[in-house]
Chains A and B, each alone.
Chain A
Amino acid sequence: MSSTPLIDIQQISYSYMLPRSGEDKAQSIPALREVSLQVWQEEYVVLLGHNGSGKSTLARHCNALLLPDSGRVLVAGHDTRDAKQRRALREMVGMVFQNPDNQIIATVVEDDVAWALAVRGMPAKEIRERVDAALEAVGISDLRELPPHRLSGGQRQRVAIAGLLALRPQCIITDEATSMLDPLSRREITQLLHQLNREYGLTIVQVTHLLEEAVLARRVVVMEQGRVVLEGPPATVFSDLDLLRSLKLAIPEPMALAERLRDAGWPIARTALTIDAIAKELAR
């Protein structure tokens, strides 16, 4: 871990301006209130919160899709307000959104992954190398010649991730990237992100409202009303389920069952958060 954070969010506030029908003055809706957060190189951070808690707004500040009203965001030491650095910044920090179809442009998978490289005028040989590596990394080399519409939602999301990987980023931010997927694909995408983090040292910031996607993170940051309200390793953050319920988060039933059994005197380690881990504890 280096001594400067990859993403350094310092006391930022941000409000959305909503035009009010029939009135001159726009209404200002505060979305972030003096938020500070550091994300370190090679870290895996989950931003957790219900809809409207501010987590997506915060994520969008990490690659200058939004700029703070006050405070500042440094990425690898550069202020996101510096327009000259913006392109380099977005290569460094890539973002995956909810609907992969909004991110897919080309008619064939490999062309789509090559797109951002081609528009940057990269030599063909290097493009090929990078596309091959990116498709390999997300496990869809065999689908390279298919049109994206023939793929499942999970596979399309992999195409979107491969397109970012081809730019050799330091960090990938996923904003509710699994919410349109079926439960198995959802799990596979989270597994893929962990694998990219482990094998390539890629920094991951995963934005989600699902606790089950946060259980294997290095650090969980819970947001509510534009503020960070809880932060720590999963075992700590998930030790008080009632608190999470009060933050309008749905508790996965296996965790709720473990909690009830623990209250009834069963010795279940608080670090057991996944289905497998809870099963192991219960079957001891």
Chain B
Amino acid sequence: MNEPVIIARHLSHTYQSGPLRKAALIDVDLEIARGSCAAIIGVTGSGKTTLVQHFNGLLRPTSGSIVVDGIDVGASGADLKALRQRVGMLFQFPEAQLFARTVYEDVAFGPRRMGLDRRAVRSRVIAALETVGLPKREYGSRSPFDLSGGQQRRIALAGVLAMQPSILVLDEPTVGLDADGREEFYSYLWRARKERSITIILVSHDMTEVAALADTLFVMHSGRLVMQGTPRQIFAEGDQLRKWGLAVPPLSELLLLLRRRGAAIPATAFTLDEAFEALQNSGRISKTT
């Protein structure tokens, strides 16, 4: 495992509104390895959004600490401007945040605000548009609003990439896209990850997606980090996840049902191939005995 790029220790956050207090994060300890893909899962209100809002200093801990890419978010005098350049955020339906007249202008907005000179802005925009497969020579002068939904989302991604973040947080990035749109979005995201060795943090409730993409899953429930591990480890605990209101991927659920009915399928079987093998083997055993 690489060195951790995010380290939270006893991280807690309590929202205070007048006399009302709500503990949204309670004593969270976690480490996310540099260059990995981590997914944070949990139902609405489990604290996952509150957690990721600490990653770029939108929120600061009410107790405990969180250090992101070397910056102690809770420290007084923490360089939040530097932090927000290092941590890119892409929210749900990011295309709703497109605003400029042309694709180029939209992607250039972030780097310009960083105070880069024209030439630097230009080279970043060109590189970012290249990464998301919408090259400047073809798309730069087009209106972002003439593009398809999936393309608009990639423009929004390019806008974040142009800031050259070391960490990219994506909140439900493919909601509303169909199978093709999802695959396309993730193929470009993966390209960005490879080219730029970015740490990816996904907030998602699509378990199939998370199972396929993430190296490590963090499960949030009622403000606490209740489980962490590889998708294979986490989804073997289907019954436990359901108690927290989370579904396992459909295939894991099927295998769980079969095991409950007495089929000899190892708890580690996880992919379609593994499930097929396991069933073929168990089938042969029951036929020969």
Contact B254 A278 (CB under 8 A): yes
In the complex, A253 has a CB within 8 A of chain B: yes
Chain A 248-259: CB-based contact to B (< 8 A → 1; otherwise 0): 111011101100
**With A50-B178, A176-B176 as given contacts, are A253 and B251 in contact (CB-CB < 8 Å)?**
yes
Contact A182 B44 (CB under 8 A): yes
Which B residues contact A (CB, under 8 angstroms)?
43-45, 92, 142-143, 146, 148-150, 175-181, 205-208, 245-247, 249-251, 253-254, 257-258, 261-263, 272, 275-276, 279-280, 283
Query: Out of A179, A183, A276, A283, which one reaches B263, CB within 8 Å?
Result: A283
In the complex, A98 has a CB within 8 A of chain B: yes
**With A275-B250, A275-B253 as given contacts, are A282 and B279 in contact (CB-CB < 8 Å)?**
yes
Contact B178 A209 (CB under 8 A): yes
Q: Which 9 A-B pairs have the closest CB atoms?
A: A250-B179, A182-B205, A253-B251, A279-B257, A283-B261, A183-B247, A51-B178, A50-B178, A152-B44
| Distance in angstroms between the alpha carbons of A81 and B283 in the assembled complex | 60
CB distance from A97 to the nearest CB of B (A): 11
Contact A184 B261 (CB under 8 A): no
| Distance in angstroms between the alpha carbons of A256 and B275 in the assembled complex | 11
Q: Residue on B with the closest CB to A182?
A: B205
CB distance from B196 to the nearest CB of A (A): 28
In the complex, A122 has a CB within 8 A of chain B: no
Number of interface residues of A (CB under 8 A): 36
| Distance in angstroms between the alpha carbons of A253 and B276 in the assembled complex | 11
Contact B254 A182 (CB under 8 A): no
- Set of chain B residues within 8 Å of A282, measured between Cβ atoms: 258, 263, 279
- Set of chain B residues within 8 Å of A52, measured between Cβ atoms: 148
CB distance from A182 to the nearest CB of B (A): 4
Contact B179 A209 (CB under 8 A): yes
**With A51-B149, A257-B254, A282-B263 as given contacts, are A179 and B272 in contact (CB-CB < 8 Å)?**
no
- Set of chain A residues within 8 Å of B272, measured between Cβ atoms: 253, 256-257, 260
Contact A51 B207 (CB under 8 A): no
- Give residues 218-253 of A contacting B (CB, 8 Å): 248-250, 252-253
In the complex, A153 has a CB within 8 A of chain B: yes
- Set of chain A residues within 8 Å of B207, measured between Cβ atoms: 183
- Set of chain A residues within 8 Å of B92, measured between Cβ atoms: 180
| Distance in angstroms between the alpha carbons of A276 and B146 in the assembled complex | 44
28 A-B contact pairs sorted by A residue (CB < 8 Å): A18-B146, A21-B143, A50-B179, A50-B180, A51-B149, A51-B150, A52-B148, A152-B45, A153-B44, A176-B176, A179-B175, A182-B44, A184-B246, A187-B247, A209-B178, A249-B179, A253-B249, A253-B251, A254-B253, A254-B254, A264-B276, A264-B280, A266-B279, A279-B258, A282-B258, A282-B263, A282-B279, A283-B258
CB distance from A209 to the nearest CB of B (A): 5
In the complex, A34 has a CB within 8 A of chain B: no
Contact B180 A248 (CB under 8 A): yes
CB distance from B84 to the nearest CB of A (A): 27
In the complex, A105 has a CB within 8 A of chain B: no
- Set of chain B residues within 8 Å of A257, measured between Cβ atoms: 251, 254, 272, 275-276, 279
- Set of chain A residues within 8 Å of B180, measured between Cβ atoms: 50-51, 248
| Distance in angstroms between the alpha carbons of A180 and B272 in the assembled complex | 26
Contact A183 B205 (CB under 8 A): yes
**With A152-B43, A152-B45, A282-B279 as given contacts, are A98 and B250 in contact (CB-CB < 8 Å)?**
no
Apart from A51-B180, A182-B247, what 11 extra A-B contacts exist at CB < 8 Å?
A20-B146, A50-B179, A51-B177, A182-B205, A182-B245, A209-B179, A253-B251, A254-B251, A257-B275, A261-B276, A261-B279
CB distance from A92 to the nearest CB of B (A): 28
Q: Residue on B with the closest CB to A275?
A: B254
CB distance from A61 to the nearest CB of B (A): 21
- Set of chain A residues within 8 Å of B150, measured between Cβ atoms: 51
- Set of chain B residues within 8 Å of A79, measured between Cβ atoms: none
Contact A279 B254 (CB under 8 A): yes
- Set of chain B residues within 8 Å of A212, measured between Cβ atoms: 250
| Distance in angstroms between the alpha carbons of A10 and B271 in the assembled complex | 45
| Distance in angstroms between the alpha carbons of A11 and B143 in the assembled complex | 35
| Distance in angstroms between the alpha carbons of A256 and B146 in the assembled complex | 37
- Set of chain B residues within 8 Å of A264, measured between Cβ atoms: 276, 280
Contact B261 A279 (CB under 8 A): yes
Q: Residue on A with the closest CB to B207?
A: A183
